[in-house]
Structure 1
Amino acid sequence: MSHIIIYTDGGSRGNPGPSGAGAVVKDLKGKNAASISAFLGTRTNNWAEYEALILALRATVDSFGTPVPHGVVVRMDSELIVRQMKGEYKVKHPVLKEQHTKVRVLIAESFPQIKFMHIPREENSEADALANEAMDRGV
C-alpha cells in the first residue's frame, strides 16, 4: 500500500437526530493507525459525515505529523460529501459550508497529497459500525 487510507462515516437517527461519527485510519501497511467513534449530539447526517472527516483528518495528523508525509486517500460512502470535496457540487447549506471550510483548512495545512473516493456502503462497514456504536452510546 503506498497511501494512508482513511475510511469515514457519519450518521443520524432522525435527521436531525442523535448522530455519530466513525473513522478508521490505515497506515502504509494496512494496519489501523487510529479508530474514532464519537457521539455528536443532535445533528443531520451530512453534518455528521463532515465531522467524521474532520476527526479522521485530525487523527491522521496526530498519527503521522504535519505535513502528512504520504499520500492520503479518503474513502466515504457519502457521494454528496465526496463530490463537494472534489468541487463537483457546491456547498449550499450555511452549516455545511462551515464544516467544508474546516476540512479545506485542515487539508491546506497538513495534506499536500489527498484524494477523495466514493465507495459502496458495504466497503465502509468498519467506519459505519463505529458511527453506529457512537449513536448507541449517546441515545
Structure 2
Amino acid sequence: MYIRMEWIYRTPKGTEVACSSEELPAAHALLILEDMEKSGRLKNLLLIDRHDSTWTVKELKNYLKGIETDPHNVTVYFDGGFDLTSRNSGLGCVIYYEQSGKSFRLRRNVSANEHTSNNEAEYAALHLSIQELDLLGVHHLPVKFIGDSQVVIKQMKEEWPTLEKDLSGWAERIDKKLKDLGIQAEYELIPRKSNGEADKLASQALNGVEITAKSEVVEE
C-alpha cells in the first residue's frame, strides 16, 4: 500500500503552513511520521491511500501488522504472444511482492492453443497472473498490473470500449476474479522494451519452455 500525507505545520510562534508528501510505501510513511511527530508541531494529519480513503495512524499500523506474514506490496508484469503460423500463444507474468520482511519474485509462463489473436493472448496473460495471485494468497489488497498492451490496459481502465466479444469475455472474467479476491487493481501501460521479463517468459512458452520459479530478491 502507498500513502501520501497531508498536514498542517505550526512554528513555535504560531505561523501555520499546509504541507503534503509524495506517495510513499505505508511502512516508510509511518517511520517518517513518527520522527515528524516528535516535534509536536503537526496538526490535522491525514493519511490517504491511492483510492482516496483516509486512515488513522492506528488503523495503518494495525493493517501493516495484519499483512506482515501475507504477500503484500504486489506488482505484476504480464505479457502475451501469439504466433500466426502455429496459432499458438505464450503467456508470461512476473510477480514482485513482500512477505515476512523479505522481497520475492515469482516467474510463471504457460503455452496455449485456444486463442485467436495477440490481444486475446495478452488478456489471457493478465488472467494467468491473477490466478497466480490467488495461489499466493493475495486478497483484499491493492495490486499494480503493468503491461505493454495498449488494448488491454486501456480497456481494463475503461478508457477504451471493449467491442470484440472474445475480449469483452476476458475482461468480464478478470473483473469477476478480482472482485472475488477483493483486489483493487491499478493498471499501468509501459513500452515493450520496459516489459522484458514478462516478454521473455511469453516467448519461452511459445518455444515450448515452461517456467515456474520463485526467488528472493536481495538488494545489493
Please indicate, yes or no, whether the TM-score normalized by the shorter chain is above 0.5. Answer: yes
The correspondence of residues 1-139 of structure 1 with structure 2, limited to 5 A, is: 2=25, 3-14=73-84, 17-28=87-98, 30-32=103-105, 34-41=106-113, 43=115, 44-65=117-138, 68-137=139-208
User: CA–CA distance in 1 between the matches of 2:122 and 2:159?
Assistant: 17
Rg comparison, structure with higher value: 2
The alpha-carbon deviation at position 37 of structure 1 amounts to 1.0
Describe the shift of the 1:30–1:116 C-alpha distance in structure 2 as closer, same or farther (beyond 3 A).
farther
Deviation of 1:113 after TM superposition, in Å, equals 2.0
- Report the Cα offset of residue 98 of structure 1: 1.1
User: Which consecutive unaligned segments of at least 5 residues does structure 1 have?
Assistant: none
- Give the structure-2-normalised TM-score: 0.57
Give the deviation of 1:105 after TM superposition.
0.4
Distance 1:37 1:50 in 2: 14
Larger RCO (alpha carbons 8 Å, 6+ apart): 1
Q: CA deviation at 1:134?
A: 0.6
Aligned-pair identity (%): 27
* Whole-angstrom CA distance in 1 between matches of 2:176 and 2:86: 26
Q: Tell me the TM-score normalized by structure 1.
A: 0.88
Paired residues, what number?
A: 135
Q: 1:104 to 1:127 in 2, by over 3 A?
A: same
Give the gaps of 5 or more residues in structure 2.
2-24, 26-72, 210-220
Secondary structure, aligned partner of 2:167: helix
Shift of 1:18: 1.7
Per the TM alignment, residue 20 of structure 1 is displaced from its structure 2 partner at its CA by 0.8
Segment drifting more, 37-46 vs 76-85: 37-46
CA distance in 2 between partners of 1:16 and 1:47 (Å): 15
Higher strand share: 2
Question: Which consecutive segments of 4 or more residues in structure 1 shift more than 3 A?
Answer: none
3-state SS, counterpart of residue 162 of structure 2: coil
Aligned-residue RMSD, C-alpha: 2.0
